[in-house]
Structure 1
């Protein structure tokens, strides 16, 4: 079935993957064959849901079944789901940004953010016990040091994402991780619609025209902690609970 649609999938793949479509198709086939649940769905629906998932995967420039794009059984169909790692890859691929920053806000932190007047959130981590994670925010940093739009994973958005996660209330769930890793991942997913993205690596691009005129630099005393910088090329992303 995958081989039958080789040409159609090849036309959707970005140039960097189109050079070796057979490798990409083999990854797709292997991802299904090693998972009995996926294979059962393919047999039941003649591969219809798998093809939809693979087209999305190809369009985004990911390899199916990788840490960037998962093939998951949802009900009676196969769902293709881009991971937060895949989102960051596409943000950095755009060539506009040098890094992506995501931070968790805890109950005892001092935090405020007005998108009309603030360039980035006013966030001061509490000393000692910071309490439980309550929200998160994320933004990308351009090459000149100016930030992109800041997106917030508010407590309401966190609650919604958590409710959709199977077993989120179990002690083993990454949602119970005291570092708030799932909160940061939610903020990254919120960021994607507000930044440049690309399915394959682009040359470095600097802001120009109206974008450059509107950009405002980070405050001089703004401290970016290494642990807050998410860069897939440096393997700095926590892998806990990716599928949640």
Structure 2
């Protein structure tokens, strides 16, 4: 059995893998085959609580059950999965992280526009933020909650801050607000409250994936993530945590031993459909005809 690659070789291994996928576009290779080639790099990066086999199995399931991910470039999928590995977050319905398909602009080394391409973006879910915050060792408790119209909810900022939430019994009515609070091991605490309208305005301003993906399928979770991110601006967080946050909502076309240092190639301009004769979803720009789940290849 061959010895595993040394940690110092991980960056070169990752770059070679990404370059190979980009050069050939993974021609004729299944998701499982590409991920199998990636396993040595994953094994060196992944925390002890998660195994490469489990992470890649979950990622494969996410891709096979989302038609839009099936047409994303292999290098962007590898980059997104590697970010999951380094942060120890599972890309699944548990809300730790998401692989989000969208239309991105691609340019060559000289900056020449090469048109639009389908790529996967890595996004941290609200439960992922909670998990990362707990790992810092500074937080004893951190929570994000929704407030409904019939709940008893009182809060006040200032010198005498207070926060009180008593959920109503039975029908609680529609959601009106979201809040997050954190208790620190030194005895301090902090909280943030945002109205549902504030959340929607934030989504409309900062997300180009507001008509599909997590904002449509998991609005409540994304709203909690938004208020958590707002709260974290006032929390004592480590350099490692800041690096983790910097990886949220990014697209990477390389695999490295430190994914936070890989250039984010996300283009936030509005996607346009330029291909002729290809039926695509009017909202997302993705092909409406995707390959069967058991025949997914990058070709």
Structure 1 counterpart SS, 2:91: coil
Change (3 A) 1:69 1:130: closer
The equivalent position to 2:228 in structure 1, one of 179, 188, 196, is 188
Q: Does 1:80 align with 2:119?
A: no
Q: Which has the higher contact order (CA 8 A, sep 6+)?
A: 2
- The answer for unaligned runs of 5 or more in structure 1 is 200-244
- The answer for unaligned runs of 5 or more in structure 2 is 1-33, 104-117, 242-299
The equivalent position to 1:37 in structure 2, one of 45, 58, 68, is 68
Give the Å deviation of 1:174: 7.2
Distance 2:52 2:217 in 1: 36
Alignment partner, residue 192 of structure 2: 151
Task: Kindly report which structure 2 residues correspond to 1:138-217, keeping only aligned pairs within 5 A, or say none.
Answer: 138-143=180-185, 146-153=187-194, 157-163=198-204, 164=207, 165-166=210-211, 183-193=223-233, 194=235, 196=237
Aligned length: 183
Change (3 A) 1:78 1:173: closer
The equivalent position to 2:99 in structure 1, one of 71, 74, 94, is 71
Question: 2:59–2:92: 8 Å Cα contact kept in structure 1?
Answer: yes
Alignment partner, residue 49 of structure 1: 76
Alignment partner, residue 37 of structure 2: 4
Change (3 A) 1:130 1:147: farther
Distance 1:103 1:33 in 2: 31
Change (3 A) 1:63 1:36: same
Give the Å deviation of 1:21: 2.0
Change (3 A) 1:154 1:147: farther
Decide which structure has the larger Cα Rg and report it: 2
TM-score by length of 1: 0.56
Distance 1:89 1:83 in 2: 10
Give the Å deviation of 1:62: 1.0
